[in-house]
Amino acid sequence: MKQKISHVALVVEDYDDAIEFYTKKLDFTLLEDTKLSEEKRWVMVAPPGAKECCLLLAKAANDRQKASIGNQTGGRVFLFLFTDDFQRDYNKMVSRGIEFVRGPVLEEYGQVAVFKDLYGNLWDFIEPTEMNKGLV
């Protein structure tokens, strides 16, 4: 048996604002943007080189969903973005106005910092140690 997680839904307020943030600030690739109805689109983005999983940007459709924008995990880190060059990408993200809430630290598993996306969701930004490089 083989299984994989292919998409993770991220509740957003506005499709176009979310696309702009992920493609312009984080250099994600817009994989698909298909209109399904007047209110709904199928929008997928992924980091450069990603093969297994992408984000499905899902516009909040009701008050309950709107209440979870930016807080899908109750304030915990929600998503993990790995890189092959921490300093290069960290400097680029800082220059583009990405807000880091915890600065770079070296942990046994790699160099890591925590940033907020445009809605306040927390992300771990990580360059794994040599021992964990296969994870990138």
**Distance from C-alpha of 130 to C-alpha of 128, rounded to nearest angstrom:** 6
Residue 36 has pLDDT above 60, yes or no: yes
Residue found under tokens 């983005």 = 45
User: What letter would DSSP give residue 115?
Assistant: E
Q: Are strands 54-59 and 41-46 parallel, antiparallel or unpaired?
A: antiparallel
Q: Are strands 41-46 and 29-35 parallel, antiparallel or unpaired?
A: antiparallel
Instruction: Return the amino acid letter for 35.
Output: K
Per-residue tokens: 24 = 């312009």
Residue 98 burial (C-beta neighbours within 10 Å; 0-12, 13-18, 19+): buried
Question: What is the mean pLDDT of the segment spanning 7-30?
Answer: 98
Residue 62 has pLDDT above 80, yes or no: yes
What's the chain's average pLDDT?
Answer: 94
Question: What is the mean pLDDT of the segment spanning 7-27?
Answer: 98
CATH topology of domain 71-136: 2,3-Dihydroxybiphenyl 1,2-Dioxygenase; domain 1 (3.10.180)
Question: What is the mean pLDDT of the segment spanning 82-87?
Answer: 96
Contact status, residue 87 vs residue 74, Cβ threshold 8 Å: no
Per-residue tokens: 135 = 């994870």
Asked if the domains 1-69 and 71-136 are classified in one and the same CATH topology, the answer is: yes
State the pLDDT at residue 134. Answer: 56
* Structural domain boundaries in the chain: 1-69, 71-136
State the pLDDT at residue 132. Answer: 54
Residue found under tokens 């160099």 = 111
CB atoms within 10 A of CB 65: 15
State the pLDDT at residue 104. Answer: 97
Residue 76 has pLDDT above 90, yes or no: yes
State the pLDDT at residue 51. Answer: 85
Residue 131 has pLDDT above 90, yes or no: no
State the pLDDT at residue 135. Answer: 55
Q: Give the HSE-up count for residue 3: Cα atoms under 13 Å, Cβ half-sphere.
A: 2
Which numeric CATH code is attached to 1-69?
Answer: 3.10.180.10
Give the global pTM: 0.91
Residue 16 has pLDDT above 60, yes or no: yes
